[in-house]
Amino acid sequence: MFKLKCDDFLIYDEATGTYSMSKEQQVRDEHERKNWQTVGITLLKDWRLYLMLVPMLLVYFLWRYMPMTQLLAAFKNPNTPGVLASDVANQDWYGLTNFKELLFGTTANTPMFWAAFRNTFAIAFYGLVFGFPFPIILAIFFNEIRSNVTRSVIQVCVYLPKFMSTVIITTLAIVLFKGPHTDGIMDDSVGVISKLLLAIFPSANLEAAASTAGGLIFSPNYFRALYEITGIWEHGGYDSIVFFAAVIAVSPTSYEAAQIDGAGKMQQMRYVVLPSILSTVVIMLIMKVGSLLSVGYEKVYLMSSPKNYSAADIVATLANRWADESQSTLGIAAEMLNNLIGMILVLGANAIAKRASDVSLY
């Protein structure tokens, strides 16, 4: 006969050879029961709060978390048809074959995926490099305008594009950057901005790009630049609001002190303004880096045509197209890869910021 090693909550009675609960454990059990009672009472007392939470949780569960169950399809055989959750459940497991095909495959899909991934990254990266400093510059310039009326008027103008829909913005971009058609599809009218550009930079290259694709937007060589420019046009003014709030928070005495010390305007920017707005800049930079790979697919979708896929196709639009070509599983795998990397970027940027400056978003 052996003795159980459970001295901490059981007491062995040598005489009768039985176990009994220790006093301490009885107290602990009692405590725990009380705890659960409190939980029950709290839940019961606050049932209205939980009821209020239910619609939101339901919406998020149904349309944000349910789609994630579809991700299983990325590990299933693409050749067995059916894409509903029940169909996917019945398909053969395929392991990482879909991912292998995307990354190292020999079919036409592999270069397409890599091109799309490169485009996603390039669009996001250029957006960061050119789109990020612009609102800061704008905010600093706004601070130079002393007249409130003038500044308000300019601000109303520059915030305006932010409130226009993507369809309106892309429509205007397509039409204003239109080039003359030479293939008989359409008239040879030229969009007013293309015309201006051709007048300022008369190059055969630009002209060819405008005319063959039906517009500069649809030319692979100019798509990225125009995507970023329209992006800055659209968001620049609005994004400057948060920086402007930081810039006007700089106390005027700091400027005066710097002036007395003989600092010129650039030195004031460097040693007074920049340090004061740095924390805002860091937060916004984290946000930007975090959303690096979640390029707005709606705008890309609206600005792309088969003519500029080589530069404009991003992972999301490629997956969308693959889904229409009954290659859903491959599309799901591609997007999953993209979004996982995106998530790592968000969390990584946040962790770095937390360590570096106590500023964190989540």
Partner 1 sequence: MKRKMEKSELIFKIIAYVFLIVFALMCVYPFIYALASSFSSTEAVDGGQVILWPVGFQTTAYEFVFGDNVFWISYANTLFLAFVGTIWCMLYSIMGAYALSKKRLMGRRVFNFILVFTMWFSAGIVPQFLNYQATGDILAALGGTTYAEMDQKWLIIIAMGMNATNVILLRNSFEGVPAEIEEAARIDGATEMQVLMNVYIPMSKATIATVALFFGISRWNGYFWAMRMMPNQRFSWPVQVYIRNFIDSYSGLIKEVLEGNEWEYSIKTIRPGYEHTDVSVMSVVYTMVICAVIPILCIYPFIQKYFAKGVNMGGVKE
Indicate which single residue of 19, 122, 301, 352 sits in contact with partner 1 (rule: CB under 8 A): 301
Q: How far is the CB of 157 from partner 1 (least distance, A)?
A: 4
Taking CB under 8 A as the rule, which mask of x and - marks residues 343-362 in contact with partner 1? x--xx------------xxx
What is the Cα–Cα distance from 295 to 300, expressed in whole angstroms? 8
- Which parts of 34-53 interact with partner 1 (CB under 8 A)? 39, 42-43, 46, 48-50, 52-53
Residue 21 or 41 with smaller CB distance to partner 1 = 41
Contact between 341 and partner 1 per CB under 8 A:
no
* Subset of 243-272 contacting partner 1 (CB under 8 A): 245, 259, 264-266
Q: Considering only residues 77-96, where is the footprint of partner 1 by CB under 8 A?
A: 83-85
CA gap 112, 207 in Å, rounded: 28
Could you give the CA distance from residue 105 to residue 114 in angstroms, rounded to a whole number? 11
Q: Please identify, using beta-carbon distances, which residue of 124 and 190 lies nearer to partner 1.
A: 190
CA-derived radius of gyration, the chain: 30
Residue 195 identity (one-letter amino acid): K
Asked if 108 interacts with partner 1 (CB under 8 A), we say: no
Q: Point out which span in 17-25, 61-69, 101-109, 200-208 binds partner 1 (CB under 8 A).
A: 61-69
Determine the size of the site formed for partner 1 (CB under 8 A): 105
Q: Does residue 278 touch partner 1 according to CB under 8 A?
A: no
Give the contacts of 127 (CB within 8 A, at least 6 positions apart).
228, 231, 288, 295
Is 285 a binding residue for partner 1 by CB under 8 A? The answer is no
Q: Which stretch binds partner 1 (CB under 8 A): 10-18, 21-29, 102-110, 338-346?
A: 338-346
Of the candidates 251, 282, 275, 270, the one whose C-alpha atom is nearest the C-alpha of residue 359 is 282
From the list 241, 250, 281, 282, which residue makes contact with partner 1 (rule: CB under 8 A)? 241
Determine which residue in the list 158, 208, 281, 285 makes contact with partner 1, applying CB under 8 A. Answer: 158
Taking the chain, what is the end-to-end CA distance rounded to the nearest angstrom?
A: 57
Which of 12-20, 27-35, 105-113, 323-331 is the region at the interface with partner 1 (rule: CB under 8 A)?
323-331
Assess contact for 282 and 357: CB atoms under 8 A.
Answer: yes
Write down the least CB distance from residue 38 to partner 1, Å: 10
CA quadruple 61, 65, 67, 71: dihedral positive or negative?
negative
Query: Tokens at residue 146, please?
Result: 């002393």
Instruction: Report the site for partner 1 in 202-231 (rule: CB under 8 A).
Output: 214-215, 218
User: What's the CA gap between 241 and 100, in Å, rounded?
Assistant: 45
Alpha carbons 224 and 244: distance in angstroms, whole number: 28
Q: How distant, in Å, are the alpha carbons of 269, 282, 352 from that of 294?
A: 33, 19, 20
Which CB atom, from 96 or from 164, has the smaller least distance to partner 1?
Answer: 164
Nearest approach, Cβ of residue 303 and partner 1 (Å): 10
Contact pick of 89, 156, 278, 356 for partner 1 (by CB under 8 A):
156
DSSP state letter for 19? E
Nearest distance, CB of residue 40 and partner 1, angstroms: 10
Q: With binding defined as CB under 8 A, does residue 322 bind partner 1?
A: yes
Per rule CB under 8 A, is residue 112 in the interface with partner 1? no
Query: Of 2-10, 19-27, 219-227, 234-242, which part binds partner 1 (CB under 8 A)?
Result: 234-242
Whose tokens are 């990584």? That residue is 348
Distance CA 67, CA 208 (A): 44
In angstroms, the CA 71 to CA 318 distance is 17
Instruction: At 42, give phi and psi (nearest 5°).
Output: -60, -50
